[in-house]
Chain A
Amino acid sequence: MLGKGLADMMEASIGESVQVTTATGERAMLRVSGIFQSGIADADKVQCYANIKTVQKLLARPSSYYTDINVKLHDLLEAPAMGQELARRFGVDALDVQTANAQFETGSDVRNIISYAVGVVLLIVAGFGIYNILNMMIYEKLDAIAILKATGFSGSDVRRIFLLLSMIIGVAGGVSGLIGGFTLQNIIDNIPFVTAALPTVKTFPIDYSPKYYIIAVTFALLTTWVAGWFPARKASQVDPVEIIRGK
């Protein structure tokens, strides 16, 4: 099995035979049974695979000779534990995928931290905006609050009204944020992203996972609730007599 880049260079196609030379100078004619493309051009240009028995024979080694075993797990996160377990049990070197890609992981961790930090800062700013709007609204509506209280609405009724108001802002903002986010994702998903290193990737890679939508809505609602809570409490404590006298 030849990598696509390699096959293209040798102009080899399925069914044809190619000559293989090992590091020790052994030669053999092997038939091309397939061509693969991993998606990473650099790897496809140099890699090829053959049956383990053939390779052992070619290298003149016994059938117990293995240099590497790659294990693919359903759950990537189990890799470090499993690596240690295998190393202990069979006395071999085990390298888990996280350690192997540590540099890449650190890079993407930093990027995640930055994007979450920007998100949190935006939420705080928006939260203060809502807080201010509701605070101003309470000053405007002092008369109305006083009338409601004088006619028998309690402080908690008033607080409920203002919390409801802020939650309406939160839900409206959250939903329009989701729609906006989804639209943007769609647009970005269709932007061409062509790079020689990754020949199978044609557009920007997008993760539509609902996880991010849930996080976004939860934080939007949490922010508006907190931002609304303080003005709502203030409204509930308005003294109607003071307002009615002041008129």
Chain B
Amino acid sequence: MSATSNILEVVKVNKSFHDPVTVPVLKDVSMAVKRGEFVSVTGKSGCGKSTLLYILSTMDTDYEGQVIIDNEPTFGLTGERLSQIRNEKIGFVFQFHYLLSEFSVLKNVMLPGLKLAKRSAAEIEARAMDLLKDLQVKDQALKMANQLSGGQKQRVAIARSMINDPMIIMGDEPTGNLDKKNSEIVFDIFQKIASEHKRSLLVVTHDNDFAARTDRTIVMDDGRIVTS
């Protein structure tokens, strides 16, 4: 496995919570995700999946070890640089759908693109509309974000995570709120961006069917990776 083909590399990550007593949550976690690979992460509730994902997304910097994203070691980088990496290279879909209720659905999807400012607002808007169409929520584009159903919100959040065409999309149970049909739609879109656009996906899921159909499944138990 050459270093350049890995989009994401995790080296011996340890994390503990110290409140009120020190509890180790991640123990010597090492793994890698290749370009264009669609990886799922499973494991029982409380085993540390979300915690790992927050560290990989560079939002949580309180850990030991090293996380290398697109060949750039991220441990100890400034907050400014980390937010650039998040903006440009990582798409994140939360366990609970997270949209800005002050903005329309379309604006929500466009916002990370406007921040990156690599393309014009018109181009970003066109791309946002395409993504919403792919996820079958185009008809909701001009509604306010809080006027959507849970499943619709989750699909909008997925569209948002893809707006900057990131190297890797991380999802914390992105299909957790979706019915079979919509879950299917999301899976197909994920598979398409992995195979056609050579983007990587790292998705935490409790859905065994979903996991079984990904390229590889990482199983965690009590803060350790047991199968990878």
Contact = CB atoms under 8 A, between A and B. Distances in A.
Nearest to B160: A151
A154 B98 contact: no
Interface in B3-31: none
B119 interface: no
Interface string B170-213: 00000000000000000000000000000000000000000000
B59 A240 contact: yes
A168 to B, nearest CB: 15
B32 to A, nearest CB: 23
A153 interface: yes
Contacts of B54: 241, 244-245
Contacts of B88: 152
B150 interface: no
Interface stretch (B108-116, B122-130, B135-143): B108-116
B84 A241 contact: no
Interface in A27-51: none
Contacts of B111: 148, 151
B79 A151 contact: no
Contacts of A245: 50, 54
B176 to A, nearest CB: 13
B138 to A, nearest CB: 21
Contacts of B79: 154-155
Contacts of B164: 152
B127 to A, nearest CB: 15
A171 interface: no
A72 interface: no
Contacts of B101: 144
Contacts of B94: 150, 244
Q: How large is the interface on B (under 10, 10 to 19, 20 to 34, 35 or more residues)?
A: 20 to 34
Contacts of A148: 100, 111
Nearest to B87: A152
Contacts of A144: 100-102
Contacts of B95: 244
Nearest to B157: A147
A151 B50 contact: no
Nearest to A146: B98
A247 B59 contact: no
B115 A157 contact: yes
A26 to B, nearest CB: 92
Interface string A145-172: 0111111111111000000000000000
A244 B87 contact: no
A108 B165 CA distance: 69
B80 A156 contact: yes
B57 interface: yes
Given A244-B54, A245-B50, A150 B98 contact: yes
B144 to A, nearest CB: 13
A151 B94 CA distance: 11
Contact of A244 (B83, B98, B100, B115): B98
Contacts of A157: 83, 115
Contacts of A151: 86-87, 92, 111-112, 115, 160
10 contacts: A143-B98, A144-B102, A146-B98, A147-B98, A150-B98, A152-B87, A153-B87, A154-B84, A244-B59, A247-B98
The 9 A-B residue pairs with the shortest CB-CB distance in the complex, in nearest-first order: A152-B87, A154-B83, A152-B86, A151-B112, A241-B60, A241-B54, A147-B98, A247-B96, A241-B59
